[in-house]
Structure 1
């Protein structure tokens, strides 16, 4: 049910699968959700700019059923710290959209949560 999408104009490391796996474990830990439900998608998109510049940047989406509004500031810090460590991104060039998905709008395995 948690989904983390990371779209960046920075080339992903050769170990992009490892990056996704590390992010998956972190999201599960941060949200207190089973990792078996976490999905992570990292994509390289060279056609991105922010503040009129194509310097390294990222747009992220973190969605989950029951995403606590009170955690978004901490989640932003943690995700920005991770992206800085993993991809060298300046946290000031990262946008994150948080979304709390209602159970009936999140489907899997032919049903909804």
Structure 2
């Protein structure tokens, strides 16, 4: 159910091949969610300017059912910005992360919704 989606101008050739595999356990631990439900995706090579330059930059979205909120997001931001800077070389002042807390009825899975599966 959690999905961390990154769009970046970093070229595909500079994205570590194992980035998404490394990022899933980090995301799962940060949110306290099982790894088997976590998704990390990255869309490289996006024509993008941040602050008037085309230096490496990104926009990201973290969607989850729960585990998000004012105080929690500060902790998530710290962990995710560190991950992105370490693995992708994008400085923390060159990316935004939006946090999206979806209700269980708005996330589909296995032909139904999480609300139907877990109430």
TMscore range, shorter length? over 0.9
Partner of 1:59: 59
Partner of 1:85: 86
Q: What secondary structure sits across from 1:41 in the alignment?
A: strand
Partner of 1:41: 41
Tell me the matched-pair count: 112
Q: What secondary structure sits across from 1:92 in the alignment?
A: coil
Q: 5+ unaligned residues in a row in structure 2: which ranges?
A: 115-119
Alpha-carbon contact 1:67-1:99 (below 8 Å) kept: no
Alpha-carbon contact 2:15-2:88 (below 8 Å) kept: no
CA distance in 1, matches of 2:45, 2:33: 29
State the Cα deviation string for residues 91-113 of structure 1 (Å, max 9, x = none): 00010010101000000110000
More moved, 61-70 vs 26-35? 61-70
> Which structure has the larger Rg over C-alpha atoms?
2
CA distance in 1, matches of 2:98, 2:15: 26
Q: 5+ unaligned residues in a row in structure 1: which ranges?
A: none
Structure 2 length-normalised TM: 0.88
Partner of 1:71: 72
Alpha-carbon contact 2:3-2:62 (below 8 Å) kept: yes
